[in-house]
Structure formats: structure tokens, C-alpha cells
């Protein structure tokens, strides 16, 4: 890889200030090297001459969703039939995040 710097040290420090992160000298050097390598990879990809149609699906199988058709809805009684606990028209559960 070429040693051409896509982002300068000053730009990296500016971005770090914008992101409100503090970086040590070793972190700045490592991050600058990593970001510039990533940008070089992007440049390599950009230079490729690819005459390929963009893919909609990774596989040849088209797994599109079914057509949306109106259907009957459940009554409130049916919805809460197996609920452990409810409060007015809401399900009650334990705390999710501690």
C-alpha cells in the first residue's frame, strides 16, 4: 500500500474534538494509520471497472413478502387471554434493562 495520507493528523484531531473523544498519542497514530488504510481500500474498490448489475438479493431466491391483505383482527379479550398481567389496555412485564 502506498503511504499517501488521506487524512492528516490535524484532521484526525479535529474529528476527535467534534466527536468529543480524547485520544492519546499512541491512539492517534494507530487510528490515523487504520483510517487511512480503510480509505485506501475504498479508493482501490472505486477504481475497479465493474460492469455488473447491482444485486437485489444475495441468492437467486426471491423471498419477497406476501401481498398485504386486510383480515379480521383479534378482540381485546383474545389478545389478553394468555397474558400474565395487564394494566388497562397494556401488557405488563418485568424490568427489561437493569
Residue among 25, 58, 1, 98 at smallest CA distance from 12? 25
Residue 68's pLDDT band, with cuts at 50, 70 and 90, is: confident
Q: Which helix (H) or strand (E) element contains residue 87?
A: strand 86-87
Q: Please tell me the total count of domains within the chain.
A: 1
pTM: 0.46
d(CA 21, CA 31): 12
Q: Which domain holds residue 32?
A: 9-47
The CATH number of residue 20's host domain is 1.10.20
Residue 1 has pLDDT above 50, yes or no: no
Residues 18, 21, 26, 30: what is their CA dihedral angle, to the nearest 10 degrees? -60
Tell me whether residue 3 is in a domain. no
Residue 61 has pLDDT above 50, yes or no: yes
First to last CA, the chain: 47
The residue with greater pLDDT, 69 or 58, is 69
Tell me whether residue 55 is in a domain. no
Residue 35 has pLDDT above 70, yes or no: yes
In the chain, which residue ranges form alpha helices assigned H by DSSP? 9-18, 25-47, 76-79
Instruction: Give percent above pLDDT 70 in the chain.
Output: 91
Amino acid at each position: 500500500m502506498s503511504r499517501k495520507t488521506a487524512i492528516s493528523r490535524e484532521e484526525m484531531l479535529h474529528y476527535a474534538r467534534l466527536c468529543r473523544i480524547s485520544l492519546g498519542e499512541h491512539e492517534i497514530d494507530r487510528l490515523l494509520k487504520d483510517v487511512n488504510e480503510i480509505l485506501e481500500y475504498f479508493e482501490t474498490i472505486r477504481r475497479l471497472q465493474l460492469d455488473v448489475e447491482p444485486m437485489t438479493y444475495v441468492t437467486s431466491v426471491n423471498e419477497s413478502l406476501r401481498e398485504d391483505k386486510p383480515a379480521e383482527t383479534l378482540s381485546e379479550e383474545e389478545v389478553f387471554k394468555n397474558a400474565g398481567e395487564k394494566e388497562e389496555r397494556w401488557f405488563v412485564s418485568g424490568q427489561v434493562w437493569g
